[in-house]
Every structure is written in structure tokens, then in C-alpha cells.
Amino acid sequence: MSGHMTPEEFRRYGKQVIDWIADYQENVGSYPVRSRVEPGDVMAALPDHPPEEGEGFEAVLADLDRVIMPGVTHWQHPGFFGYFPANASGPAILGDLLSSGLGVVGMMWATSPAATELETRVADWLAELLGLPDRFRGKGVIQDSASSAALVAMLAALHRADGGRPARSGITRRHTVYISSQTHSAIEKAARITGIGSGNVRLVDVDPRTLAMDPSHLDALLAEDVAAGAVPAMVCATIGTTSTTAVDPVRAIGEVCAKYGVWLHVDAAYAGVAAVCPEMRWINDGLDGHVDSYATNPHKWLLTNFDCSVLWMADPEPMIGALSILPEFLRNKATESGKVIDYRDWQIPLGRRFRALKLWSVIRWYGAEGLREHVRTGIRLAQELASWIRDEPGWELLEPHPFGLVCFRPVWDGLDGDEADAATLELLERVNASGELFLIHTKAHGRVVLRLAIGGPATQESHVRTAWARIRKERLGVRG
């Protein structure tokens, strides 16, 4: 075996790969959800050295089954309820395959005009599907992740706050960033990367019941910091926090940001796509106010394989000011005409994948109706699970739970707080060891709670029933 794979060979192996994936989709429910390998097991099954001579692709497929599959946790399993869903779907996989097949790098309009223009168009389609305000039209970009989206937003915010100085001479003044205890760690990470530093990330109080950010405390912190000579750079509000899907009051937060001229980034990584359903549009409240950037991830709940996070900018200029550097070798007529978008200036790396193809495939395959149906199913199943938990003595349910995530815990009579937490974690371990389902925990109101996120395309009511039955059964073993 040597030399490039010919189109004929590609055709043959490619069909085998598609068959392999289709078989996997059919059988994914028969695997234990969480991989059972121990650290080092997969490495130990792999040769220490690369092959000197090329091998047939059959050998790769054989090792995929033998070495790789035991080390895979099955995110597409109907019993996967961990983190947030990372939906894969047929049209998205095929769209991604087409992107790989074309192998273009759409760093600028000129390096593949369709990659740019399709991306702008599908970002507009998604904005329309979600009912986002008109001022985001034509100003969307696909990032690899919500973390990157937040970093880009923060760089734009810094640029605006300092009149372009950070781009030229680095950060010289003290800047501050505002989040709550419930905000995703990606925002603090962005503060570290930008040089603002974790020490300048301010924690805004949350409502003790809903865990939503308190705008009046935000106002107080901003006043205090400005008086002390700091330059507030960015506030991040979250629609659907990762821990419990709390929703920050974006409109009220935006009013505070407007008062101080601070950039407001809205992180709706998981929950934002729920707005495909008109009955969920309440989550967009305030986006028509003072919001500078907004991001949501089709790669979580909207059937588009990782990675695909869409970021919209109300005004892209500060971002372009912060990120655009034009070396001689990238100069071209289209860029100079000012008539095109060069997405290299809308992200950290230069090179970029043609991700719009998979989002385009998904939206066209499902249509608005299909996407709504998928989100509604997740919400309906979560409401059903919540109602079973509510009706079962000896369990505590965290309210509210407007999306696909349900947080709950057993009430352990006679145990103090720490003992109860330990018992809940033991229950979690027993449940996950069953292989039937997989979920994780979080802390809410100071206590460990189980966190069950519904939203996989294969998940049906029967899987949620099985999960709840297993959880109740394993509970009996914890203190037995």
C-alpha cells in the first residue's frame, strides 16, 4: 500500500465508512453509554511507532472497532444525559463530509467566495429562525465554540473601551469584566487570554432562588470600579447557564450596560436555539435593547455536529479593528473593494473550515418545522421527567426548568449536608456504572444535585423512563 488514495479507492472505502456510521447509528443504543476503559488502556493498544509503509484502510477500520470503540463514550446514545447534548444528525455529518471533500480554507472571501457568502446567508437564516433582532442581519459568523465567540467579543469590547489602543500598544489600563457565579468558565478564560486577568473578573450576585444575575448589584459594582479608575470592558449575561439553565435578565442588564457604555455579550450557547419555537421566544427578551454580541451553539441542541457556534455582532467594526492585520501576501482586489466580508478578521485563527455547509444541510433537511419539533420533544420529555420527580416522595426538584435540563436530588433523611452530598455522588456513580445512562452532577444552592440533560435525537420517552427507574433503583443500594 503506497501513494495517494485514488478516487476509485476512495469510493470503495468511503462507502464502507458510510455503512459503518449507519450501522453505528442503528446500534448506538446497545453500547454502555460511558466508556469503561481505564487511563492508558487505549494508548497501550496502539503501536509505539508509526508504520514505515502505508497500510490498507481496512486495517484502520478494523482497529476502529478493536481499539477505539471501547474507549468511546457514546454521546449519541439515547441514554446520554450528561453535560449538554451534542447532537449529530445525518444531514450535518454529510454536510461536514462535503466540507472535507472540498478541502477549502475560507479565510477570506477571495479564498473561496461561496464559503463566505453561504456562511453569511445561513447565519441570517438562523437569526430569522430564532427571531433575533434585525440589527444582527448580515453580521453573523460561525466559530468553533462559544468559548471562541466570547473571546472574540471580549477583544472587540476591549478595543472599543480603549479607543483602539489595545491593538497597538497592549492593555495599559485596568479593565474589568462582569459575570456571575453561574457564568461559564470560558468567560474567565477569555479574561486571562486577553490579559485582563482573573483578578479583574468581578462576580455579580445572583437571585438566590432563580440564580439569575442581579442587575442592581451589577450597577453597584460598575459604579465602584469606575470610581476607582478601572475601565469596564465587558459584561456577560447568560441565557441558560450551564449548571442549571438559569436565565439572566438581559433587558435590565442591558440598561445598566448602556448607562456605563459597557459591552454586553450574551452567551446563549445551549439554550438560545430553543427560540426556534415561538413559545420559547421569551428567552430573547432584551436582545433588541443594548446588546453588542450574542452567541448560540447549533452544535449542542440544534442537530449540527460539533463544531458550530454562531456569533452575531451588532456592530462588527470594533472586532475588525481589534483583529484585522493585512500582510502583503493576503492583499487582494475583493478585500480592497470593501464589498466583501473577510471572516479571518472575525475570529482568532486565520484558516477556517467551511462549516456553513453542515448548518445549511441541517436547516434545509429539517426545515423550521423539523427543528421546532426536535426542540419541543426535548422540552416535553424534560417536563415529564420533572413531573415524575415532583410526584415521588423523597426527592427534591430544582425549579424552574424551562429547557431540556432537569436538576434534582434525593432527600437523605438523617444525613447532614456533606454526608448527603457524598450519598448523592455515590448514587451518581452507581447509575453511570450501569451503562444504561450517563449523567453528571452540579452544585446548586450549596448542595450536590443530579443534572439530567435531555435533547439527543434518538432519545424517546422510553429512555427517560428507563433512566428514572434506574436512578430510583440504585438509590436503594446507596444506604442499604
Ligand X SMILES: *Cc1c(COP(=O)(O)O)cnc(C)c1O
* Contact indicator for 120, 342 with CB cutoff of 8 Å: no
- Choose between 241 and 335: whose C-beta lies nearer to ligand X: 241
C-alpha Rg value of the chain to the nearest Å: 24
Cis upstream peptide for 402 (omega within 30°): no
- Choose between 147 and 335: whose C-beta lies nearer to ligand X: 147
Binding mask 77-96 for ligand X (x = CB under 6 A): -------x------------
| Residue whose C-alpha cell reads 478578521 in the numeric block | 345
Q: How far is the CB of 431 from ligand X (least distance, A)?
A: 22
Residues 163, 156: Cα–Cα separation, whole Å: 10
- Choose between 106 and 240: whose C-beta lies nearer to ligand X: 240
Residues 272, 133: Cα–Cα separation, whole Å: 13
Task: List phi, psi (to 5°) of 104.
Answer: -90, 155
Residue 238 as a binder of ligand X (CB under 6 A): the answer is yes
- Choose between 111 and 238: whose C-beta lies nearer to ligand X: 238
Residues 324, 317: Cα–Cα separation, whole Å: 10
Residue 184 as a binder of ligand X (CB under 6 A): the answer is yes
CB < 8 Å & 24+ apart, contacts of 280-288: 280/375, 280/379, 280/402, 281/131, 283/239, 283/240, 283/247, 283/402, 284/130, 284/131, 284/132, 285/250, 285/251, 286/249, 286/250, 286/251, 286/252, 286/253, 286/254, 287/132, 287/133, 287/250, 288/133
Q: How far is the CB of 329 from ligand X (least distance, A)?
A: 31
- Choose between 238 and 361: whose C-beta lies nearer to ligand X: 238
Near ligand X by CB under 6 A: residue from 99, 200, 242, 459: 242
Residue 434 as a binder of ligand X (CB under 6 A): the answer is no
* Contact indicator for 150, 206 with CB cutoff of 8 Å: no
Q: How far is the CB of 189 from ligand X (least distance, A)?
A: 9
- Choose between 185 and 216: whose C-beta lies nearer to ligand X: 185
Q: How far is the CB of 206 from ligand X (least distance, A)?
A: 14
Residues 368, 125: Cα–Cα separation, whole Å: 10
* Contact indicator for 374, 303 with CB cutoff of 8 Å: yes
Binding mask 122-151 for ligand X (x = CB under 6 A): -----------------------xxx----
How is the beta sheet containing 140-143 ordered, strand by strand? 140-143, 309-313, 293-296, 263-267, 231-238, 175-180, 201-204
How is the beta sheet containing 395-397 ordered, strand by strand? 395-397, 405-410, 447-453, 440-444
Residue 182 as a binder of ligand X (CB under 6 A): the answer is no
Q: How far is the CB of 269 from ligand X (least distance, A)?
A: 3
Q: Which of 174, 170, 236, 172 is nearest to 199 (CA)?
A: 174
Q: How far is the CB of 238 from ligand X (least distance, A)?
A: 5
- Choose between 31 and 270: whose C-beta lies nearer to ligand X: 270
Q: How far is the CB of 186 from ligand X (least distance, A)?
A: 5
- Choose between 236 and 420: whose C-beta lies nearer to ligand X: 236
Near ligand X by CB under 6 A: residue from 132, 152, 158, 186: 186
- Choose between 407 and 420: whose C-beta lies nearer to ligand X: 407
Number of residues that bind ligand X (CB under 6 A): 14
Q: How far is the CB of 422 from ligand X (least distance, A)?
A: 27
Site for ligand X in 257-316 (CB under 6 A): 267, 269-270, 297, 309
The Cα diameter of the chain in Å comes to: 74
Binding range to ligand X, per CB under 6 A, among 2-10, 155-163, 237-245, 342-350: 237-245
Site for ligand X in 25-54 (CB under 6 A): none
Return residues touching ligand X (CB under 6 A): 84, 145-147, 184, 186, 238, 241-242, 267, 269-270, 297, 309
